[in-house]
Amino acid sequence: MKDLRPDRITIRRPDDWHLHLRDGAMLRAVAPESARHFGRAIIMPNLVPPVVTAAQAEAYRERIRAALPEGSGFTPLMTLYLTEDTDPEDVRAAHRAGIATAVKLYPAGATTNSASGVRDFDKVRPVLEAMADIGMPLCVHGEVTDSAIDIFDREAVFIDKVLKPIRRKTPELRVVMEHVTTADAVDYVRDSPRNLAATITTHHLIINRNHILAGGIKPHYYCLPVAKRERHRVALVQAAVSGDPRFFLGTDSAPHSDPAKLQPCGCAGIFTAPNTMSCLAEVFEAAGRLNHLEAFASLNGPRFYRLPVNEDTITLVRGEPVTYPARIETGDGPVTVFDPGFALHWRVED
Ligand code: NCD
Ligand code: ZN
């Protein structure tokens, strides 16, 4: 009998709506990995020190451009790291000048390099109001940091305790709930007006908390927000493959050197830039929804950010299992590439 599964699919070039490129030697090693397949990416500002002002974002954008391969068409879309001292006028000016696409809200202490984040959400209200006024999206790391709240509950509690109040007080604000990991977040986004969207990472579509903790601890599967139970992963897959325009790809590819991860207190972050498109094609194919891969990776994001979709395309081809290097070498040490735990049959054609 003829196998009716397609073995080629051509989609608009995808974008990555949540990406960590780091700086220095690490930036130079990882930027080409994202530039290979992606047209644009929202660049996270959690450097040390963080990218807070328009001037810092502009300088960082130059360093990213300098790290790209000759002739690369990759566009970094910059974000400003929101602090309690952020000046609303600087944010307006950065947006007007095309320097910053979005502002990033980290609750203080929520994740890697977030010490300068927000403690008192009322203090940033003037910035949020300015952003609502100009239609500039707020990217939100949606976890509370209260040590009394169980780490597996921090996203759901954040929705009730932080996000709902912010959206009640600033209803016009356009918000991206980033790297959602729970059915609670999926439901919340689905039931909200159109000015709320969510990104979903590659790895949260593939791993649950057993992958991190069962049969030995696996630091390379540890990231924040931490992967949850299987029923949450299933909800994320359903949202991603549904074609619903509120859900789109943000890989949260977050490289750390192996020595920084393999420690008594290892860093959070999973490096998925090299094999994300192959992983996603497997996930969408398994769900019988390859026809929605383009919406998730290439169409829904630009629509929410009010940007044109990419003009050019990529083609994924199904064949013999493809392999990616287990790790890449960087000037800051080796960085392990995400292992989905199954064979990848889809590769992006050169
Ligand atoms: C990110 C990092 O390493 O910068 N880590 C992660 O686990 N995702 C920070 C973040 O996005 O939370
Ligand atoms: Zn991130």
What does the pLDDT read at residue 1? 52
Q: What is the pLDDT of residue 240?
A: 98
Question: What residue ranges in 185-269 does DSSP mark as E strands?
Answer: 196-200, 247-249
State how far the Cα of 180 lies from the Cα of 115, in Å rounded to an integer.
21
- The pTM score is 0.97
CA of 229 to the centre of ligand 2 (A): 20
252: left (phi over 0), alpha (psi -120 to 50) or beta: left
Distance 307 CA to ligand 2 centre (A): 22
CATH at 234: 3.20.20.140
45 contacts 79 by C-beta, under 8 angstroms: yes
Q: Is 46 in the pocket of ligand 1 (CB under 6 A)?
A: yes
pLDDT of residue 114: 80
68 is in an annotated binding site: no
E-strand stretches of the chain = 8-12, 16-19, 40-43, 75-81, 100-105, 138-140, 175-177, 196-200, 247-249, 313-322, 327-328, 335-336, 344-348
Instruction: Say if CB 18 and CB 197 are below 8 A apart.
Output: no
The pair of three-digit structure tokens given for residue 126, joined into one six-digit string: 């003037």
Domain region containing 344: 3-348
Atom in ligand 1 nearest the alpha carbon of residue 113: 4
User: DSSP letter string over 73-99?
Assistant: --EEEEEEE--TT--HHHHHHHHHTTS
List, for residues 181-207, the tens digit of each pLDDT value. Answer: 999 999 999 999 889 999 999 999 999
Q: Is 252 in the active site? A: yes
> Is 220 part of any known ligand binding site?
no
> How far away, in angstroms, is 173 Cα from ligand 1 center?
24
The residue from 252, 258, 312, 350 that is catalytic is 252
Provide the β-strand partners of residue 198.
177, 247
Are residues 180 and 238 in contact, defined by beta-carbon separation less than 8 angstroms?
no
211 annotated among ligand-binding-site residues: no
Residue 281 has φ and ψ, to the nearest 5°, of: -60, -40
Q: Ligand 2 mean position to 178 CA, how many Å?
A: 8
- The residues that bridge with 308 in the sheet, in sequence order, are none
Q: Are 311 and 5 in contact (CB under 8 A)?
A: no
> Where are the extended beta strands (E) located within 96-253?
100-105, 138-140, 175-177, 196-200, 247-249
Q: What is the pLDDT of residue 116?
A: 84
Say how far apart CA 208 and CA 193 lie, in whole Å.
Answer: 29
Instruction: Give mean pLDDT in consecutive 10-residue pieces for the chain, a chain of 350 residues.
Output: 76 98 98 98 97 97 98 98 96 98 92 83 95 98 95 97 95 98 98 95 98 98 98 98 98 98 98 98 98 98 98 97 96 98 96
**Does residue 254's CB lie within 6 angstroms of at least one atom of ligand 1?**
yes
252 marked among binding-site residues? yes
| Total domains present in the chain | 1
Nearest CA to ligand 1 atom 4: 112
Q: Looking at the CA of 114, which ligand is closest? A: 1
